[in-house]
Structure 1
Amino acid sequence: MKTNVLIGSLLLFSCLQASAQPSFPKSGEEDREGIMSEAYWKIWNRDVQEKIDRDIEKNRKADAVLSFADGRPGTEVRIEQVSHDFIFGAHIFNFDQLGTKERNDRYKSLYGTLFNSATIAFYWNAFEMQPGRLRFKGEYWDTEEYWNKVEEPKMQPHWRRPASDPVVEFCESRGIRLHGHTLVWGNRRWQYPNWIADELMTGEEKAKMAPLVKEYASKNNTLRADEFTEAYERLSPKKLAGMLPDFTKKIADVQRRRIVEIAEYYQGRIHSWDVVNESAKDYALGNLAEGEELCKSWYGLMPGEYDYKALKTAEEVFPESVALNINDYYRDGKGKAYADQVKGLLARGCRIDIMGSQMHQLGAKGSRSASEGAEIETPQIVWDRLGSFGETGVPIHMSEVTIASPGNGKRDWAIQAVLTRNMFRLWFSVEPVMGITWWNVVDDCGAAGESSTSGLFTRNMEPKTAYYALNELVNEEWKTRKTILLPESGIVRFRGFKGKYRVTWTDRFGQTQISEFYLKNDGDGFGN
């Protein structure tokens, strides 16, 4: 049954590839219709493009050596790259939620064809709506049948938050790399369950907190930082911890429990995790000082040193094969605070395998402005920021990427396609970058406040021009395919993009032979 579903999805994907691909300019010289302004092409000029080309050649390729002891000289050796070492991902938050089987199948067909990695939602407030009831296993309200009947899907509390097991099992059936997002995050709207304050504070502690929060905060138990009074602001973390001893202990315990429970359930099945999300602003504000039991986070009350403690807990309970990530969007100049935070955590003995860098600047308004020549995510800005992050020595994941079309017209779609091509080429060229993850695959399926035109597909799962731009890069320009005649020496050398390869040739007995190998470093290959 799974095979039939896979074949059906691949057929849908083949139809996408076979349909007429819209053209879009790839350089200023080709932009005869003026899709982008002259000011834009002055920024993304020929010198910049040539540097990107050189860096891609240097950083994303390696020299391979293949030895054919049983080969017949003069026979064709067909070399085909079948997968990338580099991560091209997307979140999979809309799994089975798009309203029809046709839309859902087309959505699923992208994973394993365009995307080799999927970010899976583990936002705490939707994953554990009631204390102790974790949404690992799918229920009726997670099924395609349920979502196909829902008239207003965005009004459902688990919209964009499918149960995790069905998604994990689907991705495993496709051989997709799995990434969990996110274990620890202070955000009260998208992460922290409303039951936290009510469950964790004693009656006496609630009475002490009452004068420190505004009236509406005490009703919804969110304890957001912007809901506290001036009296609260005057209290030190140490003083607050003394006032709230039970809450201080329990909030640290519940953070640890969450990490431990998920780690024990999935073991090493999920390949990487955003252990800590968007904590750099607290670092920059001095809220993550060593030794504090309670953190006066800009989000609200959090465990003291929550970034450090979360990473140490994750290192303790996850297998070594699982990559531990820290993830952020925070910008101060060239990203100095975030880089300094990572350096500090590493110096304290934390294991950080990947450093996530979000990019949501190119929403609908940002994309329009960029096309007109505004200095938003220019090559120099990206080189400077990623250069700062690279100083940590930790690989970088462009973990949440938004590139929207300014509107829904033909020119708007072309603008999105040009931005997509240039930004992906730039990120792909930077040596420490190990992957890029597109955030909202489908229009009008983002979180509240996110651009409704940031998808590669319309809400009806029709491909936009940016889809073709990205597919052309991932599955054409950046995949190596060669046919070489076997020389007398029996040795074939070539330079190709890093990843998994399949080699086909005819041996001296006239038998077709097939072998596979991974190309990651210069000199990789095989001999027989």
Structure 2
Amino acid sequence: MTASPLDRVIRSHRAADAVLTLTDADGPIAGREVRLEQTRHKFLFGCTGFEFEALANGDSKDPDRDALLAERWEGLFNFATLPFYWGRYEPERGNPNTERTLNTARWFADRGHPVKGHPLAWHTVTADWLLDLDNAEIAAAQVDRIRREVEGFAGVIDMWDVINEVVIMPIFDKYDNGITRLCRDIGRIPMVRMVFDAARESNPSAVLLLNDFDMSSAYECLIEGVLEAGIRIDVLGLQSHMHQGYWGEEKTLGILDRFSRYGLPIHFTETTIVSGDIMPPEIVDLNDHQVDEWPSTPEGEQRQADEIERHYKTLLSHPSVEAMTYWGMSDGGWLGAPGGFLRVDGSIKPSYERLHALVNDEWGTDETVRTDDQGRVSFNGFLGDYRVTCGDAAADFKLDAPGEAELTLDLS
């Protein structure tokens, strides 16, 4: 099968031409069958891990169902986002949900999946008890909260959405909250400096994101102001909840080109593509779309599968993108939307099968090949972790950068 131009672009950024020389105590392993298996992608194929708290803490009401969900999650994803919404994480001051969240994070980490915390500062779903404080006290509580989480989870969670949706934060008017009060008082850039400084000091090796849904020039102005102020941002987070329809390649690539000019890695942090009716275009705030039912439909599911494939391929074709997090494994999540890879009853949708084939087959490696008379095998593989097996012997290796790679592996 001949690769398309898009597929060739993707492989130019995401894959390497590898030559392995395999040896043992007797020298080159010549003329032998060996298995090449990719065990992990370097690219972060992410999804929320909210659904696994009960399973990770041993109190699931339906452990068989949750175990099957976990198996299907791992069939697609290698990177989890866990919730730290302040109002739910610490509804009563001084009583945070630390133990259960830490157990959940370790559950993912023990399976080799890095975890991101989301978010440390946000005006929505924030703690109601902040309204009892003055602005100086709110700032102190926010800084203390960041230090507690970033220090306490270090080594298990080393990536954070530090602050979420700053563009709208000081002008947010849906309801009163302490974080909007504070941001309105001190301004966006001082707010960003305060929270990033607290996170950076608490874990200097952590990867810290600035995250927003606003893809307009307002977000660009914020980024430019933050960088000019000398605030170090590790990654730019771009949200893409497509409840009102798939963006398409032109819009997505245009956004990527605009935000990649800052020279920072880009994570698509929150993506949904629905398999039911599209939300009306006149809705400005997606939260305002409230319906009794939002079912997945057969025609919508086929459309979703096609758009999922197009979207992932578009993102992987751009060298600045390092991660893509899908916002919910199953239907019925945020706003009740049919945006998942599984239906409400847990059955697999076409989008699951399509992404599974991309991640594990088209972009994965699991094949048996024969070494030549010098013990060499050649292949083209996506960047990530690999294992080569010959008989009872095996060795692990990595492909870290696109281009060409030559490795000698001893299977003694």
User: Normalising by the residue count of structure 2, what TM-score does the alignment of the two structures yield?
Assistant: 0.83
Matched, 1:173 2:127: no
Letter in 2 for 1:424: Y
Would you say the 8 A contact 1:76–1:485 is kept in 2?
Answer: yes
Partner of 1:424: 312
Partner of 2:214: 330
Would you say the 8 A contact 1:518–1:525 is kept in 2?
Answer: no
Q: 246, 251, 274: which is aligned to 2:161? A: 274
CA distance in 2, matches of 1:439, 1:111: 12
Q: 392, 400, 408: which is aligned to 1:526? A: 408
What RMSD over aligned residues (CA atoms) do the two structures have, in Å? 2.4
Deviation for aligned residue 1:378 = 1.6
Deviation for aligned residue 1:298 = 8.8
Matched, 1:479 2:364: yes
Alignment CA distance shift 1:173-1:181 (3 Å): same
Q: 131, 136, 141: which is aligned to 2:98? A: 136
* 1:485-524 superposed matches below 5 A: 485-505=370-390, 512-521=392-401, 522-523=404-405
Q: 62, 82, 85: which is aligned to 1:120? A: 82
1:139-175 alpha-carbon deviations (Å, 9 max, x no partner): xxxxxxxxxxxxxxxxxxxxxxxxx123113212322
Matched, 1:394 2:394: no
Deviation for aligned residue 1:73 = 2.2
* 1:255-294 superposed matches below 5 A: 255-281=142-168
Q: Number of residue pairs matched?
A: 372
Matched, 1:68 2:5: no
Matched, 1:463 2:374: no
Please give the secondary structure, in 2, of the residue aligned with 1:352. Answer: coil
CA distance in 1, matches of 2:407, 2:232: 32
CA distance in 1, matches of 2:356, 2:86: 33
Would you say the 8 A contact 1:498–1:519 is kept in 2?
Answer: yes
CA distance in 1, matches of 2:141, 2:225: 25
Letter in 2 for 1:174: R
Question: Which consecutive aligned stretches of 4+ in structure 1 deviate over 6 angstroms post-superposition?
Answer: none
Matched, 1:414 2:368: no
Deviation for aligned residue 1:478 = 0.9
Partner of 1:86: 43
Letter in 1 for 2:197: K
Which structure has more strand as a fraction of its residues? 2
* 1:246-257 superposed matches below 5 A: 247-257=134-144
Deviation for aligned residue 1:268 = 2.4
1:319-359 alpha-carbon deviations (Å, 9 max, x no partner): 41x21111111022xxx332343343233332222211111
Deviation for aligned residue 1:180 = 0.3
Question: Aligned residues: percent identity?
Answer: 30
1:415-460 alpha-carbon deviations (Å, 9 max, x no partner): 11111111111112211111111102111132xxx24211111222
Would you say the 8 A contact 1:405–1:453 is kept in 2?
Answer: yes
Q: 28, 41, 55: which is aligned to 2:9? A: 55
CA distance in 2, matches of 1:352, 1:472: 34
Deviation for aligned residue 1:102 = 3.3
Partner of 1:352: 233
Alignment CA distance shift 1:445-1:489 (3 Å): same
Residue ranges of structure 1 left out of the alignment (5+ in a row) = 1-48, 139-163, 201-246, 286-294, 368-375, 507-511
Partner of 1:197: 131
CA distance in 2, matches of 1:430, 1:99: 42
Partner of 1:314: 199
Partner of 2:119: 182
Would you say the 8 A contact 1:89–1:438 is kept in 2?
Answer: yes
Letter in 1 for 2:396: E
Matched, 1:77 2:34: yes
Please give the secondary structure, in 2, of the residue aligned with 1:137. Answer: helix
Residue ranges of structure 2 left out of the alignment (5+ in a row) = 172-177, 277-294
Partner of 1:238: none
User: Normalising by the residue count of structure 1, what TM-score does the alignment of the two structures yield?
Assistant: 0.66
1:370-403 alpha-carbon deviations (Å, 9 max, x no partner): xxxxxx5121111110111111111111111101
Alignment CA distance shift 1:99-1:513 (3 Å): closer
Would you say the 8 A contact 1:503–1:516 is kept in 2?
Answer: yes
Would you say the 8 A contact 1:85–1:499 is kept in 2?
Answer: yes
Q: Which has the higher contact order (CA 8 A, sep 6+)?
A: 2
Deviation for aligned residue 1:265 = 1.4
Deviation for aligned residue 1:309 = 1.4
CA distance in 1, matches of 2:42, 2:228: 29
Deviation for aligned residue 1:301 = 4.6
CA distance in 1, matches of 2:179, 2:384: 45
Would you say the 8 A contact 1:75–1:486 is kept in 2?
Answer: yes
